[in-house]
Amino acid sequence: MDRIRIRGGRPLIGTIPISGAKNAALPLMATTLLTDQPLTLTNMPRLVDIATMATLLAQHGVDVHRNDHPNGKAGFGGEMRLTTANITSTTAPYELVRRMRASVLVLGPLLARCGRARVSLPGGCAIGTRPVDLHIGGLRQMGASIDLVGGYIEAEAPKGLSGATIVFPMVSVGATENLLMAATLARGDTELVNAAREPEVVDLARCLQAMGADIEGIGTDRLRIRGRDRLGGARHAIVSDRIEAGTYAMAAAITGGRIELLDTRLELILAVAKILTNAGVEFTETATGVVVSRANGALIGVDVMTEPFPGFPTDLQAQMMAVMCTAQGAAMITETIFENRFMHVPELMRMGANITVHQASALVRGVGRLTGAPVMATDLRASVSLVLAGLVAEGTTELNRVYHLDRGYDRLEEKLAACGASVERIKAEG
Please report, as ranges, the residues that interact with ligand EPZ according to CB under 6 A.
Answer: 23, 26, 102, 128, 130-135, 170, 172-175, 200, 314-315, 337-338, 380-381, 408
- Helix, strand, or coil (residue 173): helix
- Nearer to ligand EPZ among residue 337 and residue 405 (C-beta): 337
Phi then psi for 135, rounded to 5 degrees? -65, -50
- Nearer to ligand EPZ among residue 170 and residue 295 (C-beta): 170
Return the DSSP state at 367: -
Dist. CA 343–CA 321, nearest whole Å: 12
Alpha carbon distance, N-terminus to C-terminus of the chain: 10
Say which of 114, 125, 207, 325 is annotated catalytic.
Answer: 125
Question: 378: closest CA among 339, 340, 426?
Answer: 340
- Nearer to ligand EPZ among residue 26 and residue 50 (C-beta): 26
Kindly state the smallest distance separating residue 200's Cβ from ligand EPZ, in Å.
6
**E strands present in 194-329:** 214-216, 222-226, 234-237, 258-262, 282-285, 289-293, 304-305
- Nearer to ligand EPZ among residue 185 and residue 316 (C-beta): 316
| Cβ pair 330, 363 in contact under 8 A | yes
One-letter identity of residue 258: R
**E strands present in 277-360:** 282-285, 289-293, 304-305, 330-334, 354-358
Position with the least CB separation from ligand EPZ: 174
Kindly state the smallest distance separating residue 148's Cβ from ligand EPZ, in Å.
13
- Nearer to ligand EPZ among residue 172 and residue 255 (C-beta): 172
Kindly state the smallest distance separating residue 204's Cβ from ligand EPZ, in Å.
10
Question: 10: closest CA among 419, 372, 425, 371?
Answer: 419
Measured CA angle at 246 (ends 51, 30), to 5 deg:
30
Phi then psi for 33, rounded to 5 degrees? -70, -15
Dist. CA 112–CA 87, nearest whole Å: 12
- Nearer to ligand EPZ among residue 33 and residue 373 (C-beta): 33
**Could you tell me the strand order of the sheet in which 422-426 lies?**
374-376, 396-400, 3-7, 422-426
207 is catalytic: no
- Nearer to ligand EPZ among residue 18 and residue 337 (C-beta): 337
Asked, as a colleague might, if the bond just before 169 is cis with ω within 30 of 0, I would say no
One-letter identity of residue 395: G
- Helix, strand, or coil (residue 362): strand
Kindly state the smallest distance separating residue 27's Cβ from ligand EPZ, in Å.
7
Kindly state the smallest distance separating residue 337's Cβ from ligand EPZ, in Å.
5
Kindly state the smallest distance separating residue 373's Cβ from ligand EPZ, in Å.
23
Q: Which residues contact 282 (CB under 8 A, 6 or more apart)?
A: 291, 292, 293, 294, 295
Kindly state the smallest distance separating residue 422's Cβ from ligand EPZ, in Å.
26
What is the biggest distance separating any 2 CA atoms in the chain, rounded to whole angstroms? 65
Catalytic residues: 125
